[in-house]
Amino acid sequence: MNTVKTDNLINSLNGKIAGLTISPGASGVGSSAKVVLRGSRSANGSNQPLYVIDGVPILNTGNANAQPTGTFGGTTDGGDGISNLNPEDIESITVLEGASAAALYGSQAQNGVLLITTKKGKVGKAQVDFSSSFTANNTAYRPKFQNQYGQTPGTVSGDVTSWGPSISNSEDNLKKFFRTGTNLTNAINFSSGSELAQTYFSYANTHATGIEPGNKLDRNNFNLRETGSFLNNKLTVDGSVNYVNQKIQNAPQLGIYSNPLISLYAFPRGVDIQPYKTQYEFPDNVGVDRQNWITHGGDFHQDNPWWIINREPNYAKRNRMLLNGSVKYTFNNYLNIQVRGNVDRISDDFEQDIYAGSNNLYNSLETGNLKLSNQTLTQKYGDVLVNFTVPLKNSDFKINGLLGASVNDQQLQGYSFGGDLQTPDYFTAGNIIVSRAGTSSSNTTLNSIASLVNSFALPPNHSQTQAIFANADFSYKNWAYLTVTGRKDWSSNLSFTNNDSYVYPSAGLSVILSQALELPKAINYAKVRLSFAQVGNTVPPYLTNIQNTQDGSGALVFNTAGYNGTLKPEKTNSFELGADLRFLNDKLNFTFTYYKTNTLNQYIPVSYSAPTLISTGYVNAGNVQNTGLEFTLGYDVFKSSNFSWNTTVNASTNKNKIIDVDSKDGIDKFFLTNDGNSYQSELVKGGSYGDIYAPTLLRDDKGRVVLGGDGTAEHPYAPTPSAAYNLVGNPNPKFQLGWSNSFSYKKLSLNLLVDGKFGGKVMSITQGLLDATGVSEESGQARAQGGVKVNGVNAAGQAVTTVDAQTWYKTIGQRGGITGEYMYSATVVRLREASLGYTWSIANSGIKSVKLSVVGRNILYFYKKAPFDPEIAMSTGNTLSGIDVFNQPATRNLGLNLNVSF
């Protein structure tokens, strides 16, 4: 995992674990990643797994900025929790898939668990490790532009397009914007230990710059872990302190508004953008004229990209303190008791300064706008575990068990301020024209840009879960194992109902056939496993207690949400069957798992018809099913002292089906987004999670494109959208594969990882707008051949074979156009990682080993049909998967690693 460093350590797991789908974020350095194990199951809740460090769960949240939920984007990603950690501190990561982790970790583990074990001092060894890594990152692809036609003549207010006459010059304006990003990480760790005490200390510093100017990240990680044994090794104490300090500057904004990429890409062809880079503002001008740009306003408001970076900057700071402690007392060989606790405290500050001269949309008084937020999220966790072994006379049987109780308490404290400024460009909280929490707005789109005045305390979302649980492991002769667990949770989120506690069991059986039976010699190890598990899960806070609120002027705003029955916990039932096999003297290993999970009684906020006078209905409903297969196959092709070669393949397939939404209420659809403009993401009975619905070309029953207009210059032929939105695709891959090869020859080592995601379809709204503005290569080709070739039919029933390129692309590509025509195959196969290293030792110098490697990440796409990397997610939320709205391109990272052990 430490072979190639990235700014978010979770991305380095991509392609290495069957069933784990990682979608890196699009928000530059430090962006959150979306991680899904075995398919999405929750309509409204999180689908991300639980991260557990040394047995104790941690927080994985971003800052007060919500993740985008629509094409307008709006706020910037502050980075998730897992990205804060120093990969050097990690000893191992185990993925616990399936709900069988639930007994120990509870409902949060419903989506799986990433169990992280951190390093600690080793007995009798003192070691210092130093590592330094540097990568240079460049865009892995760029949009394809045409260079034959230039700017549309005449001053058309608003959007500037490229439907003009032929030109002969070409300008590479992207080169003037994108830069080579870098990531420099230096880490040092000290570890030492004796019989009685072991110490581990580490420090890491990361400095990363993004490919968009102004975007950078600085992070410092400190970690100290102390383990000690007392009372003749009966008492073990383990404590650690982890402190992270991180600053991210100018995380790029996603979506259509305030995103430099939209202005950059749509800039007219043949015009040099350099003057606008050299001088992005006229400081003496007032209002929008302060910004030096080719246009102002427009249907997708274009601003000077360098203005956006310099005069609409954002800053995110994070301070995280993770304190972990555990005390274990061993009574005897049969009994020990362990008490553990942690406090995870994340403090986030966010600021965005919008200078006067920025677009009026987020600067309505033309004095500038300031957005500030500050939040501290604290999780306190404590548990007591009693591990026991039942002493049995018959040594064939063994019974181990554990009884435990835990408390998990999460609470937020914070404030958000935002609004137009009194004195222009003076960015301090006291200068904001303040109004309290606002709800009245003339346009909900504006709300998503968050330019409206909002000053409020963030809701504490205080959520406490208390649990008791028990595990019993029965084993027979070391080849048959039966595990039975039970857990009961009490959740504060379900208070005010009669259902505030819920019970869930699980059972698992595994048989090591190679021990039980005489298997052919070729089979060294064979294990079969089977498990059933049920996990209960609570609902989000405050839902069971409907409260009114006040608007910006203190007026009473009624909360018109309602229920259909009382809320109750949701439930996931999962079944798993698998085998682990090793052959040929452990040279060949093979694991296989089949699983089926059903998530029932999900909390779903339902939009009833407006005349019901219920704004949102809180119901428990749904049956989301995931079935799939995972397998890994590893083979040590060669293994000798000089040369070895191991090859491993991991593959998985997941099939998601929405068996039910809420048919008892007559509801068969749930909208995850309702953009109103371009597409919808819907959960539909019989469909699949992530289904994208969009308008498509209206065709007649012979499949010909129905054209409006009459072919004259005033009313040229134009395609028409279908009346209803149709299912156009689902971005989730049908099949994922990772293939890694490790070679070592004497002191050289070579690692290669190829991975592929197969199937699925994604949508590029970017491509639509590039076509509509006439900058895309396709729109140029269409013009060169006299128009777009179609199999069309006009209102009179006559066949039409060519449609004017501008009319065609404007109609389908424009915002709110026929986005169903912009679906692409999501299949992508790439060389994910490669590293070539040389290890040597320097005798008599105290340096035990030195390793120097050349590394690369996302080096080559073997196959990619979509104009963007289909893996990149605009949002880690449940929406916007597979939709590209001017997301930052994926990067190709190449660099060097140095590891020294003393």
Q: Which residues between 331 and 390 bind another protein (CB under 8 A)? A: 331-332, 334-335, 337, 359-361, 364-365, 384, 386, 388
Closer residue to another protein, CB minimum distance, 147 or 435: 435
Binds another protein (CB under 8 A): choice among 548, 640, 712, 844: 548
Give how far the C-alpha of residue 461 lies from the chain's centroid of Cα atoms, to the nearest Å. 22
**Which residue, among 733, 725, 680, has the nearest Cα to 883 in the 3D structure?**
680
Which of 78, 368, 617, 729 is in the footprint of another protein by CB under 8 A? 617
- 8 Å CB contact between 521 and 586: no
Binding part of the chain for another protein, among 313-321, 556-564, 633-641, 852-860 by CB under 8 A, reads 556-564
Residue 171 to residue 175: CA distance in whole angstroms: 9
At 182, phi and psi to the nearest 5?
-135, 155
429 counts as binding another protein under rule CB under 8 A: no
Rounded to a whole number of angstroms, the minimum distance from the CB of residue 292 to another protein is: 17
- Using the rule CB under 8 A, is 435 a contact of another protein? yes
Q: Residues 386, 387, 392, 398: is their CA dihedral positive or negative?
A: positive
**Among 195, 297, 204, 196, CA closest to 242:** 204
Q: Which of 124, 275, 459, 686 binds another protein (CB under 8 A)?
A: 459
Q: Is 873 helix (H, G, I), strand (E, B) or coil?
A: strand
Q: How many CA atoms lie within 13 A of 268 on its CB side?
A: 23
Q: Which of 493, 696, 749, 899 binds another protein (CB under 8 A)?
A: 493
Q: Which is nearer to another protein, 457 or 842 (CB)?
A: 457
Please tell me whether residue 14 binds another protein under the rule CB under 8 A.
Answer: no
β-strands 562-563, 617-639: how paired? parallel
- Of the pair 334, 745, the CB lying nearest another protein is at 334
* Residues 613, 604: Cα–Cα separation, whole Å: 18
Cβ atoms within 10 Å of 390's Cβ, excluding its own = 12
Angle (deg, nearest 10), helices 805-813 and 765-772: 150
Which of residues 384 and 831 has its CB atom nearest to another protein in the complex? 384
Chosen residue from 814, 835, 853, 888 binding another protein by CB under 8 A: 814
Verify binding: residue 551, another protein, rule CB under 8 A: yes
Q: Is 608 in the site for another protein (CB under 8 A)?
A: yes
- Choice between 236 and 364, CB closer to another protein: 364
Are the C-beta atoms of 130 and 188 separated by less than 8 Å? yes
- Within 852-891, the residues that bind another protein by CB under 8 A are none
- Which stretch in 86-94, 113-121, 604-612, 832-840 sits in contact with another protein by CB under 8 A? 604-612
Could you say which residues in the range 703-722 bind another protein, by CB under 8 A? 708, 714-715, 720-721
Mark the segment that binds another protein (CB under 8 A) among 190-198, 553-561, 727-735, 781-789: 553-561
Residues within window 619-678 making contact with another protein, judged by CB under 8 A:
665-667, 669, 675-677
DSSP 683: E
Q: Is the dihedral of CA 470, 476, 478, 482 positive or negative?
A: negative
- Determine, following the binding rule CB under 8 A, whether residue 611 of this chain makes contact with another protein: yes
Instruction: Give yes or no for a contact between 326 and 339, defined as CB atoms under 8 angstroms apart.
Output: yes
Number of residues that bind another protein (CB under 8 A): 110
Position 856, amino acid: G
Q: What is the DSSP letter of 494?
A: G
Name the minimum Å distance from CB 620 to another protein.
14
Between the two ends of the chain, the Cα-to-Cα distance in Å is 21
Nearest Cα residue to 22 out of 899, 881, 892: 881
What's the rounded Cα separation, in Å, for the pair 372 and 428?
9
User: Which is closer to another protein, CB of 236 or CB of 607?
Assistant: 607
List 153, 232, 613, 796, residue binding another protein (CB under 8 A): 613
CA 129 to centroid of chain Cα atoms? 31
Question: Of the ranges 48-56, 94-102, 327-335, 824-832, which one interacts with another protein (CB under 8 A)?
Answer: 327-335
Q: How far is the CB of 196 from another protein (least distance, A)?
A: 26
Taking the mean position of all CA atoms in its chain, how far away is CA 735? 19
- Contacts with another protein, 504-543, as mask; x by CB under 8 A: -------------------------------------xx-
CA nearest neighbour of 538 among 565, 505, 568: 568
Q: Please give the Cα distance from 654 to 627 (Å, whole number).
A: 6
Q: Is 156 in the site for another protein (CB under 8 A)?
A: yes
The answer to the question of residue 496 lying near another protein (CB under 8 A) is yes
Q: Helix %, strand %, coil % for the chain, to 5?
A: 10, 50, 40
| Candidate list 462, 657, 704, 851; residue touching another protein; CB under 8 A | 462
The smaller minimum CB distance to another protein, of residues 614 and 629, is found at 614
CB of 459 to another protein, least distance (A): 5
CB 478 within 8 A of CB 588: no
**C-beta closer to another protein: residue 109 or 452:** 452
Considering the complex, state which of residue 644 and residue 720 has its C-beta at the smaller distance from another protein: 720
Q: Which residue's CB is nearer to another protein, number 525 or number 563?
A: 563
Query: Number of helices and strands (H, E) in the chain?
Result: 10, 43
Q: Which of residues 267-306 bind another protein (CB under 8 A)?
A: 296-299, 301
What is the amino acid identity at position 684? V
Q: What is the DSSP letter of 405?
A: E
Least Å distance, CB 443 to another protein, is 6
Tell me the window of 63-71, 123-131, 547-555, 590-598 that interacts with another protein (CB under 8 A).
Answer: 547-555
Stretch that binds another protein, among 197-205, 313-321, 449-457, 623-631 (CB under 8 A): 449-457
560, 566, 791, 798: residue in contact with another protein (rule CB under 8 A): 560
Stretch that binds another protein, among 84-92, 95-103, 222-230, 448-456 (CB under 8 A): 448-456
Distance CA 587, CA 527 (A): 16
Dihedral of CA 347/200/31/214: which sign? positive
* In the complex, minimum distance from the CB of residue 326 to another protein, in angstroms, rounded to a whole number: 17
Neighbours of 441 (CB within 10 A): 11
Dist. CA 710–CA 461, nearest whole Å? 59
Angle (CA) 115 113 591, round 5°: 85
165 binds another protein (CB under 8 A): no
Query: According to CB under 8 A, which one of 277, 436, 587, 596 is a site residue for another protein?
Result: 436
C-beta of 77 vs 570, nearer to another protein: 570
User: Is residue 398 part of the contact set for another protein (CB under 8 A)?
Assistant: no
Phi and psi, residue 176, nearest 5°: -75, -10
Range in contact with another protein (rule: CB under 8 A) among 106-114, 757-765, 810-818, 872-880: 810-818
Give the one residue of 232, 442, 641, 712 binding another protein; rule: CB under 8 A: 442
239 binds another protein (CB under 8 A): no
- Cα–Cα distance, 489 to 491 (Å, whole number): 6
The reply to whether 727 sits near another protein by the rule CB under 8 A is: no
Q: How far is the CB of 540 from another protein (least distance, A)?
A: 10
Stretch that binds another protein, among 33-41, 273-281, 435-443, 753-761 (CB under 8 A): 435-443
The residue among 16 and 815 lying less far from another protein, judged by its C-beta, is 815
Assign 83 to helix, strand or coil: helix
Three-class SS state of 535: strand
The residue with tokens 């906020």 is 605
Q: Specify whether the backbone of 298 is left (phi greater than 0), alpha (psi in -120 to 50) or beta.
A: left
Among 126, 286, 555, 860, binds another protein (CB under 8 A): 555
Output the six-digit token pair for 15: 């392609």
- Contact status: 395 vs another protein (CB under 8 A): no
